[in-house]
Amino acid sequence: MKLKPIRMILFSTLFLLGCGTISRGCAKYFGYDEVCVDGVKYIQFTSGASVKYNPDGSIATCR
């Protein structure tokens, strides 16, 4: 029974380490990927992310 909490912690850790891996993979292949977080659109690059701006200078939003 003691292995169950350890397995849950291990699974959670591995899951959280994988966050963003798909976006970075798409960015590597296509040059960038767009990600929506809390209603704000971000552009994910292989080296980091930046807020996406509209042509008028306002921050791009999403749902």
**pLDDT in single tens digits along all 63 residues of the chain:** 566 877 777 766 655 555 556 666 666 777 788 889 899 999 988 888 899 999 999 999 998
**pLDDT on residue 54:** 97
Q: Give the Cα separation of 41 and 36 in Å (integer).
A: 5
**pLDDT on residue 21:** 61
Residue 11, burial from CB neighbour count under 10 angstroms (0-12, 13-18, 19+): exposed
How far is C-alpha 58 from the chain's CA centre? 22
Instruction: Return the structure tokens found at 57.
Output: 């200078």
Does this model's pTM top 0.85? My answer is no
**pLDDT on residue 60:** 97
**pLDDT on residue 13:** 65
